[in-house]
Each structure stands twice: as structure tokens, then as C-alpha cells.
């Protein structure tokens, strides 16, 4: 949608991606043999290997040119949802029935090896912006939502058996070996808003980033956000970039508790660096008056409440 110069513009882009990979392998080896006056080495081997790899990626709003919405209460929203499912099944069975008569001497072995590996790779981005998004005047809303789900299922089974019968003058020596290896691997990343510049202009604006899934979840990555005039709300969850609150009473909201973060910097206007090594947050924030942390329910912190290192 091309935004207009007046009125309330709505730009909503959503992409859903799903991929499923299934791999199965089976190997059955069977031997039934009668030996008469023989000395023999016998091996029965079954090997089954199955590898399933699934990859899914989704980008809600992919922007590479300037977007300017001008006047009006505008909404710009990108939703990316990606899901990968990988299933691997491997089954190996080795069986032998050995008979020995008339002074036979038999060495028999049965080996069964089953290897199954399932890999789910998944990536989702709500808004992927390599340019600028400017929302102009009025109360505007910018939202990036990403969900990345990776599911794996692995089944590996192996069995080895030997049945032997001899007469009084014969002998059967046997050995049995089984090995089962099952590996599950999920590589998932969700990013609410990635890249670019955001100029929220005048008005009580909201920019919201949300990333959920089974792997790495990042609210914003490498962004530059300027709130402009107005009482703005920056719901960023986590991530990297720079936030300039501008004129008005602005609030920054991050996940976790205030004790999860370290604060270094100068002052309210010149800026403060907010870091959290556990979720990868490294934000430089200036002209923001209030701070909230989701785990500290109902508490609003002022700049003076931050504990500087």
C-alpha cells in the first residue's frame, strides 16, 4: 500500500512460512545357515541412517525504500511467522540362525546400527527495514511481530539377535553389537524489527517489537528510532540500536527486571547505554524520561532510579 499525505494510513504485511521434512531408513539383515565340518567366521550387519533437515523463513514487512505517512493516525505493521518440522526415523535389525554339525566351529556376529538426525532451521522477522519509515503527525503505531517455531522428532531403533544349535562335537561362538544414535537440533531466531531508521514525528506514538519462539528472540536489531515530539512509548523487548525520545514524556519498556541490566552513560539528555548480556541488549538511549521492565510489574523507574556502573 502506498501511504497518502493526509488521513490515517494503514500498512499491514504478513508472511507465514511452513516447511516439513521427513526422512526414514530401515535395514534388515537375516541369515539362516547350517554348517557341516566347517570352521567359519560369519557376520550379519544392518545399518540404517536417516537425516531430515527443514528450513523455513518469513519476513512480514520487507522495506527498502522510504515510507512517509505524513498526517493522520497511521499504522505500520509487519508480522512474520515461520515454522519448521523435521522428523527422522531409522531402524536396523540383524538376525542370524546358525546350525553346526560334525565338528564344526563357527564364529558368528550380529551388528545393528541405527542413526537418526533431525534438524529444524527457522527464522522470522516482523519488519525488515533497510531504509526510513516516517510517520509524521498524530498518534502513530509501528509494530513488528515475529514468531519462530522449530520442532524435531527423532526415532532410532536397533536390534541384533543370534540363535544357535549344535551337535555334541560342534561349537558356535557368537557376539552381538547394537548402537543407537539420535540427534535433535533446533536453530531458531525471531526478530521483531530489524534495521533502518524510524522517525515518529509529532504525537503520542508507539513503536512495539515482539519476538517469540523456541530459540533466540530479539526485539530490535540495529535500529535508529527518533520519537520526535509527544509522549512516546518504545516497547522494544530487547536488542541493539539507538533510541532518541525527543520532546515530551517518553517511556522505554524492556523485558526482564531492572536488575538484569547494567547502565552506563552521562545523563538524561546526553544518553545512557543499557546492556544485558543474557538477551543481547545493547541500546543507547537519550531523552527518555521513564523506564519499565516487564518482570517489575507496575513499577515505573525514572532516570534517577537507574543504577549506574
pLDDT in tens, 166-194: 999 999 999 999 999 999 999 999 999 99
Residues 6+ apart with CB under 8 A from 305: 258, 291
* The pLDDT of residue 105: 97
The pTM for the full model equals: 0.90
* 232-242 tens-digit pLDDT: 999 999 999 99
230 touches 271 (CB < 8 A): no
Which residue is listed with cell 525488515? Answer: 128
Query: Which percentage of the chain shows pLDDT scores above 90?
Result: 88
Q: pLDDT class for 1, splitting at 50, 70, 90?
A: very low
Residues 221/242, Cβ–Cβ less than 8 Å: no
Length of the chain, please?
309
pLDDT at 271 over 60: yes
Q: How far apart are CA 182 and CA 88, in angstroms?
A: 9
Mean pLDDT lowest among 129-133, 201-205, 304-308: 304-308
Among 98, 146, 151, which residue's Cα sits nearest to residue 125?
A: 146
CA distance 20 to 85: 5
The confidence score (pLDDT) of residue 71 equals: 80
Digit-coded pLDDT (tens) for 18-63: 999 999 999 999 999 999 999 999 999 999 999 999 999 999 999 9
CA distances from 188 to 83, 156, 185, 192, 262 (A): 9, 24, 10, 13, 27
**What pairs with residue 177 in β-bridges?**
111
pLDDT at position 272, please? 94
Residue 309 predicted with pLDDT over 70: no
The mean predicted confidence, pLDDT, of the chain is 94
What pLDDT is attached to residue 7?
61
Shortest CA distance to 165 belongs to which of 41, 33, 37, 46? Answer: 33
* Cβ-contact 50, 24 below 8 angstroms: yes
Residue 31 and residue 291: Cα distance in Å, rounded? 73
* Structure confidence by residue, pLDDT tens digits, 135-162: 988 899 999 999 999 999 999 999 999 9
The tens digit of pLDDT for each residue in 40-50 reads 999 999 999 99
In this predicted structure, what is the pLDDT of residue 212? Answer: 98
Q: Which residue has the higher pLDDT, 265 or 84?
A: 84
CB 92 within 8 A of CB 112: yes
130 forms bridges with which residues in the sheet? none
CA distance 187 to 120: 6
pLDDT band with cut points at 50, 70 and 90 for residue 3: low
Percent of the chain with pLDDT over 70: 97
Instruction: Indicate if the pLDDT at residue 6 is higher than 90.
Output: no
Amino acid at each position: 500500500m502506498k501511504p497518502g499525505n493526509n488521513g490515517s494510513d494503514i500498512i499491514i504485511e504478513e508472511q507465514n512460512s511452513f516447511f516439513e521434512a521427513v526422512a526414514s531408513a530401515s535395514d534388515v539383515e537375516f541369515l539362516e545357515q547350517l554348517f557341516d565340518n566347517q570352521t567359519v567366521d560369519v557376520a550379519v550387519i544392518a545399518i540404517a541412517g536417516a537425516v531430515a533437515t527443514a528450513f523455513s523463513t518469513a519476513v512480514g514487512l520487507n522495506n527498502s525504500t522510504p515510507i512517509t505517512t505524513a498526517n493522520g493516525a497511521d499504522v505500520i505493521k509487519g508480522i512474520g511467522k515461520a515454522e519448521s518440522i523435521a522428523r527422522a526415523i531409522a531402524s536396523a535389525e540383524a538376525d542370524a540362525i546358525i546350525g553346526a554339525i560334525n565338528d564344526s566351529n563357527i564364529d558368528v556376529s550380529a551388528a545393528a546400527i541405527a542413526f537418526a538426525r533431525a534438524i529444524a532451521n527457522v527464522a522470522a522477522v516482523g519488519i525488515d527495514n533497510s531504509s526510513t519509515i516516517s510517520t509524521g503527525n498524530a498518534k502513530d503505531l509501528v509494530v513488528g511481530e515475529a514468531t519462530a517455531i522449530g520442532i524435531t522428532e527423532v526415532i532410532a531403533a536397533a536390534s541384533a539377535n543370534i540363535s544357535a544349535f549344535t551337535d555334541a562335537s560342534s561349537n558356535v561362538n557368537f557376539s552381538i553389537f547394537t548402537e543407537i544414535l539420535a540427534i535433535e537440533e533446533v536453530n531458531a531466531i525471531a526478530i521483531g524489527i530489524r534495521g533502518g531508521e524510524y522517525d515518529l514525528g509529532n504525537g503520542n506514538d508507539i513503536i512495539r517489537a515482539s519476538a517469540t519462539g523456541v530459540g533466540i528472540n530479539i526485539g530490535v536489531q540495529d535500529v535508529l528510532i527518533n520519537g520526535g515530539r509527544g509522549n512516546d512509548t518504545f516497547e522494544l523487548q530487547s536488542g541493539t540500536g539507538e533510541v532518541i525520545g525527543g520532546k515530551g514524556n517518553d517511556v522505554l519498556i524492556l523485558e526482564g527486571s531492572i536488575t538484569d541490566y547494567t547502565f552506563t552513560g552521562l545523563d538524561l539528555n546526553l544518553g545512557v547505554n543499557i546492556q544485558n548480556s543474557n538477551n543481547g541488549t545493547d541500546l543507547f538511549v537519550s531523552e527518555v524520561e521513564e523506564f519499565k521492565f516487564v518482570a517489575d510489574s507496575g513499577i515505573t523507574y525514572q532516570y534517577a532510579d537507574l543504577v549506574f556502573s
